Amino acid sequence: MESAKKLKLLFVINPKSGRGKDDPQNLIHTFFQDKPYDLHFFNLHTARKKGLSLQQVVRDLQPDGVVAVGGDGTVRSVATVLIGTDIPLGILPAGSANGMARELSLPLTMPEALEVIVKRITQKIDVVRVDKDQYCVHLGDIGLNALMVKYFERSGIRGQIGYARVALKALYHQQLLDISIDNGTEKLERQAFMVVFGNARQYGTGAFINPDGDLSDGIFEVVLIKKISVLELLKMLFRHRPFDPAKTEIISARQVSIHTKKKRTSSWMANTWAKYIPSMPTSFTGSSLSLAARVKPYKCMG
């Protein structure tokens, strides 16, 4: 009798992610040693040096699933490649924060997360398109947190200690942004220290920036942090009370255009899914991509 075809899994590994010193490729090999899977690996660091393209590898290999091994940035990078295909995304959390894994209630230890992968339980989620060629599956932002990400990338210090150090530096250099928002039904003028495109609810640090967010509801939220408040921060961490709209305003939308006016120095744009880009323009357009927005649903294992 002909043996069943082995399922092909492509593991995309970010060796610079912030958790642990164990080699994830060895752990994956050990887990699958007695299982009927055809394993393939794509090391982002090595591929960058060799000029290899993940898009081309996925196109040539046609795997049954692609697994992001890293943090939220790795998840975003892999998801961007898979959008428009029927290939599901798996997540092995190995970053400093792992916000998307937490959002999906995935195990944070590798053996347990691999068990989820082999069960092939999938769910459909939305993605948010930003300026036509960028995608966000988790949270994306302009302003204060973006500045934190820039400092975090430059510091080389990972983990919660690294976040704490750059948070203090970002608070010292914070800038208030003048923002124009058009969601198709109304035009708003606001000032804020931070603007968040929220597909998900929480950052990997545990702060619930968008407590009513839903990955599969066909909309996203624009969260405006208008005043820096310890009380509002405590609400994000413990979710005991609603936000004060004078300090934290949330606007739901399927499509939105945002324009930020420069104040003294250039505005920052970065987030949990992309590195800081100094030349990024200060106008952004985001729209929710889901069945309601005329795109295929995005498929995620877990």
Q: What is the pLDDT along the chain (302 residues), one digit of tens a residue?
A: 345 678 999 999 998 876 555 789 999 999 999 999 999 999 999 998 889 999 999 999 999 999 999 999 899 999 999 988 989 999 999 988 899 999 999 999 999 999 999 998 888 888 888 877 788 889 887 776 555 555 455 555 544 545 555 554 555 456 677 888 887 788 889 888 888 888 999 888 788 999 989 999 888 999 998 987 778 877 887 766 789 999 999 999 888 888 776 543 222 233 333 222 222 333 445 554 432 222 233 555 55
Q: What sign does the dihedral 243-244-247-248 (CA atoms) show?
A: positive
Q: In 3-state terms, the chain is what percent helix, strand and coil (to 5)?
A: 30, 30, 40
Q: How buried is 121 (Cβ within 10 angstroms: 0-12 exposed, 13-18 middle, 19+ buried)?
A: exposed
Domains and CATH numbers, the chain: 7-120 (3.40.50.10330), 134-289 (2.60.200.40)
CA 256 – CA 253 distance, rounded (Å) = 7
Residues 284, 123: Cα–Cα separation, whole Å: 29
Q: Is 277 left (phi over 0), alpha (psi -120 to 50) or beta?
A: beta
